[in-house]
Structure 1
Amino acid sequence: MTAFFQSLGLPYEWAWTVATVVAIVVVSLLVMFSVAMVIYVDRKVLGAIMLRRGPNVVGPFGLLQSFADGLKVFLQETIIPTAANKGIFLLAPIITFTVALAAWAVIPFWDGGVIADINVGLLYILAISSMGVYGVVMSGWASNSKYPFFSAMRASAQMISYEVSIGFVLVCVVLFAGTFNLGGIVRAQQSFGLGVINAYAVHPLLFPMWVVFFISALAETARAPFDLTEAESELVAGYQTEYSSMSFALFWLGEYANILLMCSLNTLLFWGGWLPPLDIPVLYMVPGIVWFLVKTFLFFFMFSWIWATVPRYRYDQLMRLGWKVFLPMSLLFVAVTSGYLMATGHFDKVGIAEVPATATEIVQTNPAQPTAVRGQS
């Protein structure tokens, strides 16, 4: 896209800036449109499993129901409780929505189809996703109501607990791929399983880690059976209880954008991303973005399926699963995985063992430094 704007006569700096802004706008609009569609899918799946119709009136097959709901909340009045801290109360949904969109900057939809193809994309995702809890905590505290406050305390403990397990799971993936770049992780999965399957999840050491990651993603996004932050039978609506109009809608947009993000990470880290399921030439005729979207929405269907069928955990069960099961299990697999890769010489193949060992060697071999600098010790 930068080359296109350069062809229109713009200098490189302006062409890159305009191309980046256009990419951000396009991805943001696509994510928000996808959120509207997956809310519709969520309700249709729940309706089918519970023997109900789901949305079927507004638009053909009810496809416009999510947009009608969005128009409804847009036209409603924003009510701020008298005793609430107004500044933080209004800032909380904005943070939740903004952080949820910012994480998509490093998600590759196809090979090269990413806004920011940075080498530490996975670390960026961890940093951004960990900030999502701030919106929930701020809303719970600023509402000056006991139910949102209980929800905020639950959310902070729940998200922190399961982020620890997710971090160790990602260490196992990085050890296999040899990179934090999400595109590099996807490319490393090509022909990984039996020389024909494009997925890390088929490996005996990584399949259990995918299961841990999938369940932890449910807890991280507060989806059932881990939706204790907004448990209707206990907390009315949790941290969203005092919110209305567009501030409530921003929470919903941010929540579903995070759910889609976790579904896409399941696809990218364990199931081949934009690659077809099998390394067969005829399957590559299908565009990579199609494979990426199909896999992502398949995982979203699994999220909805679990919501409709699995009862909610008690809070002590939630904490026990995170700290007494997933944390020891993920730590054990980090040790076993690194030992296995060392024993099989995997690090020599991916080039990790060839990294310069001293600061002097790094300076002398860094092509980004001028020759005069590289020659100095």
Structure 2
Amino acid sequence: MIIKTSNLYTPYHQEGDRWLKIEDGLIKGISETPFDTEESVIDLSPYTLTPGWIEVQINGAYGFDFTDDPANIWEVAEKLAQLGFTTCLPTVITSPKETIEKALNTWQGGPPEGYLGCQVPGLHLEGPFLNPLKKGAHRLDRIISPDFDFISNWNKKNGVQLVTLAPELPGALDIVQELKERGVVVSAGHSMASGSQAKTAFDAGISFGTHLYNAMPPLGHRDPGLTGALLTTDAIPVGLIVDGIHSAPEMVNLAWRCKGERGIVLVTDAMAALGKPAGTYQLGGSAVTVTELDARLADGTLAGSILTPLEAIHLLMVYTGCSFEQALYGWTINPATLMGYTDRGYLAVDTAADLVVLDQFESIQAVIIRGQLVYQSMDFSLKQK
């Protein structure tokens, strides 16, 4: 397959015409001139092409909650491609061990026959080793203390890619070190950690901050807390929900100024209502009331979001004044770097042929995963010549 485009982001913006050669699901060439071949060319010159987008924190969508029923992981992941996601980590929040095992077994069973959707390299387990004082929408009765027996089979091979925990809890740093040795990325979140405790956790192996500002102490001028430690530690990227609700525009701008274009990983933290009308949905065993703006528990606590990745890009640009290219890093090269993915998140020879096709209004027209068209809008057509 040969694709021509006049507006390519790798995610770095490339000026002028480019030709992409795709074979066996991989990018095999990017050229400023046509390839010497008789193969027909798919002309996408009117469109913008970006690398596929990577989501590391999503609780569910299209009416399904991954914690409430992990069996729906593949069904939802297939639909997420239409939002631009080509890789995702379904997120299971604080749950009994049996629920987590069911989710891991679903992942290990692989996608159903004929599956055309998001690649799912594993799961994000958000809990259960959280600080009860910062439980957020997680059920208090399911939060437990760090326990080595509980994580006996948590490793990359079994499908555990990312774990969020509160590093200040007794025994948590031993868990951090053990998971890191097993190849799992460990993140600080739902935590009351002080600034000094956070820095100790970074030294122990914490390499990410889950949904910055949310479920952690507010920034203080005497004890900056986990928030301040994350903002001022260049080596630790942060997840950011840019919906104008979870974090005020000014705080998004502050994060941008502190972390820069390469220190922010965009996340939706979306829940079951994403892609569905307003109503009542489930999140980890709790009822959530969803309006056209937000998702909340009965007591008003925010419970995930209904944010789309494209909305996050646009809002980040508005709140910070950054360029489309800079905002794009948050869905591409930044999460890929965090997770250690060297085959996706950017476009180069021998990386995955994962592409998002946008029109002039920056709406998604098509999504290609491993060289295969998995989604196209009603207005989109491929032109070969």
State the TM-score, normalizing by the size of structure 2.
Answer: 0.24
| Greater Rg over alpha carbons, structure | 1
State the TM-score, normalizing by the size of structure 1.
Answer: 0.25
Bigger fraction of residues in strand: 2
Bigger fraction of residues in helix: 1
